A = this chain, B = another copy of it.
């Protein structure tokens, strides 16, 4: 790798970091290429050169990898707690920089971001649950499992409802696990 390529990679990473923070704080609409460039201490033309447009910058900054584990290896009765714990641990790290929450912030008013959320669900959540529960049971339950986990992210990290914020991470897992277990239901 040449020195130029290294610098290019560093510049791209700085732009993506700045873009993620702006999109997180302000949503898609209010974020401008100019502001992202200023945060990354770079000329706006360089942002355009690397990413082409605000839409493409958004797509690159908000590539969401849920990093779901192989749920087929999780015993059925441990699955609800494993799911809740996975997302709580993900979000407790740094919710302001979490690509899923950043995407959610934009998805409620921007159709492009909403479509990305639906893709994340279809390509990551649904297959992971199908591997654990079988296709029929997953098709029946995955939507409401996603709704409950997104509801937690919304209430605790975006709206910051005091009654949800005040719980410790362990208490969140403990309190939400029975609800997820009830949603997944019996193997029937």
Please give the residue numbers on chain A whose beta carbons come within 8 Å of chain B beta carbons, in ascending order.
Answer: 25-27, 29-30, 104-105, 107-109, 114, 117-118, 121-122, 126, 139-144, 146-152, 154-156, 158-164, 166-167, 175-176, 178-183, 185
Contacts and interface: CB of A to CB of B under 8 A. Distances in A.
B164 A147 contact: yes
A183 B151 CA distance: 13
A150, A152, A160 — most chain B CB neighbours (10 Å):
A150
A178 B167 contact: no
Report copies per complex.
Answer: 2
Given A27-B27, A150-B159, 15 more contacts: A27-B108, A29-B29, A105-B109, A139-B163, A140-B175, A142-B163, A143-B161, A143-B164, A143-B167, A144-B152, A144-B179, A148-B148, A151-B151, A178-B183, A178-B185
A117 B162 CA distance: 11
A4 to B, nearest CB: 38
A162 B154 CA distance: 19
19 contacts: A26-B109, A30-B109, A107-B159, A109-B109, A117-B159, A117-B161, A126-B163, A140-B175, A143-B155, A143-B163, A143-B164, A143-B166, A144-B155, A144-B179, A146-B155, A146-B163, A147-B156, A148-B179, A179-B180
Kindly list the 5 A-B residue pairs having the minimum CB-CB distance in the complex, ordered from nearest.
Answer: A151-B151, A143-B163, A147-B155, A178-B182, A143-B164
A166 B167 CA distance: 33
